[in-house]
Structure 1
């Protein structure tokens, strides 16, 4: 297995005693990264990452994306006149408890800023730790509930589910003439918040709404799906993570509900999810996502090609979000002219027209940065195309 080169990586154990200074290995490399030309004192950036656990496939892409971005930045001289970015990577196991352990370890390393954790339950469990430490963190967690804490150290580069659910409803009305929406939702922070936001929007707009919950890790959702089927919806939504998003597609087909319009979450647009389904099961299924690999966009195409060359893998949402987070981190440090967490927080809050690979980012008063949303449609060969692009401004 090749070692990551061109950047400094400190890998800390996710639990137990830490082993600071060990070089983290990057699996799946196809070529060495760019060599660093930054020779000053490193600036530490914490990365709470799903190295193990149920979302490890996404965690690998997240790690690869940040690694590649930091290699590129350091090869160009780093930040603040020659200081390299050092990634302090800790396994959060994809769980809230694991995330708390990971963030505590990260904060113990005196980082200037952090990236992750990724999911809403993990971000919810850790954002008070970041606030108390005065360290800003960037996440793609989507729950609208995260804003209720009014945490000035939380910055979101994904689209909030408070906006996604209503956009899905409008799409279903326009595309299918839907008057009845049936939904499945994970009973974690993300799923409950998405379900509630969608329910409220439906009630306000004369759309009937019925939903059933499930727990992450459930292996059989036929009971919930059968209840929804009996209710007679015009369209099915689901607010789920990777494994359950694929399970829903398969079991809709098994229950003879495959012809019912189905709009899934951003997880469904990721290869590690849709590869768990047959192409025919996916045909005509939709996914709502804030990332689309637009080959006609030159910036995006370069990223897709570079990532493929570096890792031998295709770009998906995890990679795009956290490649962006890494560059946004460097941009904020440069604009702050400082490695102090409070200065970086202020710079992040002032982000305007930042050119991410998937569009421009502008920071709101609540730390929201991304207003780009796509509804993608699968064909019979697992290819996706844009059915609708939604502007949330």
Structure 2
């Protein structure tokens, strides 16, 4: 997929020169490229586009504010690349962004892409801000890698506690799609479910391209599970819940943030309702001080509601700009150091990072679906 640029610096420079703007004036600007790496094609393209929209909205607002660093106006440009949720393509995208002079990257979306891409960005001195939740992402010690949402241990733990306390689940089945994300969150849920007193009756496996889950669902039905936890993505979870109903397996389907998506209801139709429970990093956005205003301007700009992570990508892009001002620099590692010492109140929560690049504090909210829309149940 070709790159998408906003405010391309060279084209802008040529235009301004043609209009009589002296080159000396252009020298008074910092041109900062913000890269986005995500699945803009394939089953999870809806999420990749949503993430890109969050960054785009922030970039447009920041450019309108005439932000200055070191006496120069900062002009942000967006370069978005399709990693297709594929680790190999993600590494290729990472190298392309690095070669193109991008110093700040929002993404990748998938943990399996973020883990290998992080090394490329680290070696090039690029700041990477990801929503990949696998704990391995921030165990590398890379100073320029930040996780802008809760990790699998936090999200999986919240769902395990909710299942034990609120749903009174005693016998649970686990399915994971063998991706870095799916395996990571399923493992954390399983560990913390057992710690909460639940029995894990079976752990079944699928993949992120599958559409027929009848065999593994039949196996779990035979074990009389009270609920099923799925570590995977909405394009598989939606047909899975339809097949659960067809098999008479009328138990809750539990999952992480990837199930907390309008795409889940869109693909699952009437089969998706209060039988689906998912845990998502962040507080309930509509109840946050700046939440309603963000939701309104996102819908006005893109003619649709935001999906799961657009608010987080928006918040982190704004936070990076604030850190640039505080550091009086646009150098990525100086900005990264500043991000670890500051805090930022975003539209979906408070951002501040520990020495490993994880959020110091984050809420996790459990949702269900009512009339095709997400409905919050509890926050942890």
What TM-score, normalized to structure 2? Answer: 0.88
Q: Secondary structure at the match of 1:149?
A: coil
Does 2:138 correspond to 1:139? no
Question: What corresponds to 1:44 in structure 2?
Answer: 33
Alignment partners' CA distance in 2, 1:233 and 1:69: 45
Q: Secondary structure at the match of 2:366?
A: strand
Question: Which residues in structure 2 correspond to 1:1-393 (within 5 Å)?
Answer: 7-9=6-8, 40-80=29-69, 81-209=72-200, 210-257=202-249, 259-291=250-282, 294-352=285-343, 354-369=344-359, 371-379=362-370, 381-390=371-380
Q: Shift of the alpha carbon at 1:114?
A: 1.4
Unaligned runs of 5+ in 1: 11-19, 23-37
Q: Secondary structure at the match of 1:323?
A: helix
Q: How many residues align?
A: 360
Q: Shift of the alpha carbon at 1:145?
A: 2.3
- On the 8 A contact 1:283/1:382 being kept in 2, the answer is no
Q: 1:79 to 1:69 in 2, by over 3 A?
A: farther
- On the 8 A contact 2:280/2:364 being kept in 1, the answer is yes
- On the 8 A contact 2:323/2:339 being kept in 1, the answer is yes
Q: Shift of the alpha carbon at 1:230?
A: 1.2
Question: What corresponds to 1:27 in structure 2?
Answer: none
Q: Secondary structure at the match of 1:307?
A: helix
Q: Shift of the alpha carbon at 1:151?
A: 2.2
Q: Shift of the alpha carbon at 1:280?
A: 4.6
Alignment partners' CA distance in 2, 1:61 and 1:216: 20
- On the 8 A contact 2:38/2:84 being kept in 1, the answer is yes
Unaligned runs of 5+ in 2: 13-26
**Root-mean-square deviation (Å):** 2.3
- On the 8 A contact 1:265/1:287 being kept in 2, the answer is yes
Q: 1:215 to 1:284 in 2, by over 3 A?
A: closer
Q: Shift of the alpha carbon at 1:275?
A: 0.7
- On the 8 A contact 1:161/1:197 being kept in 2, the answer is yes
- On the 8 A contact 2:176/2:205 being kept in 1, the answer is yes
Alignment partners' CA distance in 1, 2:8 and 2:247: 48
Alignment partners' CA distance in 1, 2:284 and 2:295: 8
